[in-house]
Structure 1
Amino acid sequence: MRNILGLLFVSIALISCNDNLVFNQYKSMPNTEWHKDSLVKFEFSPIDTISRNNVYINLRNNNDYAYSNLFLIVGIDFPNNYKVVDTLEYEMADVDGKFLGEGLTDLKENVLEFKSNVIFPTTGTYNISIQQAMRKSGEVDGITSLKGVTDVGIQIEKMNNNE
């Protein structure tokens, strides 16, 4: 029995491996709330300066998330002082209010496409910052604290040659 469980564990680990994964990291949100002034920051140093990559924002939310969409401001600081900033909107729920993420429990994981076909041409450290930019209708200052967000992450995958 012990050998079977060990074999099962190793099989699952091998199946779940992604050879194209360049970077994958999450940051937890204190008290499952994302304050409007809180920048979630990631730092990585790619080794490959030739390959094309897809960049995803990973977000985990629970049923306390009260919106059908999500607005983010995402910045990438390159090692050569070049900077890119994007304002993005993602759908988080369908028309019936059902969350779109994957997961069998109240916790849903969303893999949100940020950039595709990206080359990181300069060696050194890249910094990615993510800030929630949600607003209620008629408000200028935005939502102070976005409830129901448990984790925010960045995932970078090397593209296959046939993509």
Structure 2
Amino acid sequence: MRKRLVFVFMAAVLVMLAACNRRLVYDKYVSTPVVGWEKNDTLSFEVSPVDSAASYQSYLGLRITDAYPFTALTLIVEQHVFPRDEVVTDTVFCQLTDERGNATGTGLSYHQYKFPVTTLQLQHGDSIHVRVRHDMKREILPGVSDIGLSLYRE
């Protein structure tokens, strides 16, 4: 009985440690308009000041439905670092299907993806204003449900 109790306790501690991700600094999703994401609709994210100087890796999260008509998506990501007034602009090409046209994301009716953007060197107290817009030829994109941003301390 005592061995079983110790085993249960150790398993609980491992689950709690695995659930904690001290590297994750920011994680938020913003919904796009239901009728479709227009080219001039810019999504914004506000990252609060960081508590330590380090390298931070940013990622874009993407949720789409089967109504999305393309196999890829190109996004423009502008990261404005304050108070340094530094702007980092990246073009992120999001390949959504494999060579056979099958979705590579996770999920069934909604497919979720995660794409790396860039690594930023931030100082204590730096904050980031991030703007995301699509760079597709079509003005309105149906099937894009949510765009997310996550930031990890390396």
Q: TM-score range by the shorter chain?
A: 0.7 to 0.9
Residue 90, structure 1, aligned to residue 94, structure 2: yes
Which protein is bigger by CA-based radius of gyration?
2
8 Å Cα contact 2:51/2:124 also seen in 1: no
Q: Which runs of 4+ in 1 moved over 3 A?
A: 13-17
For 2:81 and 2:124, the matched residues in 1 are separated by 8
Aligned position for 2:139: 144
Question: How big is the shift at 1:48?
Answer: 3.0
For 2:81 and 2:24, the matched residues in 1 are separated by 20
| CA-to-aligned-CA distance 1:18-54 (integer Å, 9 cap, x gap) | 2211000000112162110010100112323422221
**Gapped runs of 5+ residues in structure 2?**
1-11
Q: Provide the secondary structure at the position in 2 that maps to 1:131.
A: strand
For 1:29 and 1:133, the matched residues in 2 are separated by 15
What is the TM-score of this pair, normalised by structure 1? 0.77
Q: Provide the secondary structure at the position in 1 that maps to 2:34.
A: helix
Q: Provide the secondary structure at the position in 2 that maps to 1:30.
A: coil
In the alignment, residue 82 of structure 1 is paired with which amino acid?
Answer: E
Q: Provide the secondary structure at the position in 2 that maps to 1:47.
A: coil
Q: Provide the secondary structure at the position in 1 that maps to 2:141.
A: strand
Alignment CA distance shift 1:100-1:66 (3 Å): same
For 1:44 and 1:133, the matched residues in 2 are separated by 23
Aligned position for 2:75: 72
Bigger CA drift: 24-33 or 61-70? 24-33
In the alignment, residue 142 of structure 2 is paired with which amino acid?
Answer: K
Residue 109, structure 1, aligned to residue 112, structure 2: yes
Residue 44, structure 1, aligned to residue 47, structure 2: yes
8 Å Cα contact 1:57/1:113 also seen in 2: yes
* Superposition RMSD in Å: 2.0
For 2:59 and 2:78, the matched residues in 1 are separated by 13
**Gapped runs of 5+ residues in structure 1?**
1-9, 136-142
8 Å Cα contact 1:32/1:149 also seen in 2: no
Residue 30, structure 1, aligned to residue 9, structure 2: no
Aligned position for 2:61: 58
Alignment CA distance shift 1:19-1:125 (3 Å): closer
Bigger CA drift: 53-62 or 81-90? 81-90
Aligned pair partner of 1:153 in 138, 144, 148: 148
Question: How big is the shift at 1:122?
Answer: 5.9
8 Å Cα contact 1:46/1:120 also seen in 2: no
| CA-to-aligned-CA distance 1:58-80 (integer Å, 9 cap, x gap) | 01011011111111111011112
For 1:109 and 1:18, the matched residues in 2 are separated by 20
Aligned position for 1:99: 103
Q: Provide the secondary structure at the position in 2 that maps to 1:78.
A: strand
